[in-house]
Amino acid sequence: MILAFRLLVLLLLVFVMLPAAVAIVTAFDSRSIIAFPPQDFSWRWFHRALSYEDFRTGFANSLFVAAVASTAAVVIGAMAAYAIDRYSFRGKATLEALLFAPLAIPHFTLGLGALIVAAQLGQARGWAVVILAHIVLVLPFVLRSLYISLRNTDPRLELVALSLGARPGRVILTVTLPALAPGIAGGWLFAAILSFNEFTASLFVTAQRTQTLPVAMYNYVREYADPSMAAISALYILLTTLVLVVANRFLGLGRVLGTEDARH
């Protein structure tokens, strides 16, 4: 009976891996249509994908947006998380609710809203709108990561530092920040990955010149049916898996996501 369960789990894992595996296999097919079973082996789609102009600019744009949005989110989030966790002030609950609310709103709704606001302000679809939208979307995750870090640090350490004569600014720089480092690092990484992959809201707020990679890929799929996308997907999948395996090694994904067994 345990065997049946194990078999079921295996089948489910195969289901989860199937699309990725299929995409990777297709990327190496030499034919310019997507068909199974694959025939000759070829790298041509990888060459095509890597040299395709829209993919290249898209990639650069995505990197830019992800870097800026994540960094901004982490800075904004660290300060806000600290204030929310350690201080009490009027409107704290409201602020917290507003910062986490984007989690409950579909990205297409946020995208539409951002688009309307940008149009109203006459901003059209420049970098600011895209980056701000990304910040709003990734901030909840950054905050969560920071909350975990804050909860794990003893606030009494700061009191001790103060009692030893350090001023509040120094205490925060020398005691609080180092303690928050894992939350900041993890939050930044998570935010960067989410921002890089974000599609729906970006579709609404990006223009031709600010197009991020997911949007570029979407446009490509709608027009062409060749395996170039498969090649990009293959690269993406391998890269992401690598990052996750490494992250699991060093940060312990299980603990971050809360899936570890309570009592071993």
Question: Is residue 223 within the footprint of another protein (CB under 8 A)?
Answer: no
Based on CB atoms, which residue is closest to another protein, 43 or 108? Answer: 108
Candidates 74, 196, 206, 231; binder of another protein (CB under 8 A) is 196
Candidates 63, 67, 162, 179; binder of another protein (CB under 8 A) is 162
Can you give the three-state secondary structure of the chain, one letter per residue? Answer: CHHHHHHHHHHHHHHHHHHHHHHHHHHCECCCCCCCCCCCECCHHHHHHHHCHHHHHHHHHHHHHHHHHHHHHHHHHHHHHHHHHHCCCCCHHHHHHHHHHHHHCCHHHHHHHHHHHHHHCCCCCCHHHHHHHHHHHHHHHHHHHHHHHHHHCCCHHHHHHHHCCCCHHHHHHHHHHHHHHHHHHHHHHHHHHHHHHCCHHHHHHCCCCCCCHHHHHHHHHHHCCCCHHHHHHHHHHHHHHHHHHHHHHHHCHHHHHCCCCCCC
Number of residues that bind another protein (CB under 8 A): 95
CB of 53 to another protein, least distance (A): 18
List binders of another protein among 11-50 (CB under 8 A): 12-13, 15-20, 22-23, 26, 33-37
Candidates 148, 185, 240, 251; binder of another protein (CB under 8 A) is 240
Candidates 43, 178, 241, 250; binder of another protein (CB under 8 A) is 241
Question: Is residue 259 within the footprint of another protein (CB under 8 A)?
Answer: yes
Candidates 203, 206, 210, 211; binder of another protein (CB under 8 A) is 203
CB of 154 to another protein, least distance (A): 18
* Contact string (CB under 8 A) for another protein, positions 79-108, x = contact: xx-xxx--x-x-----x--xx-xx-xxxxx
Based on CB atoms, which residue is closest to another protein, 160 or 244? Answer: 244
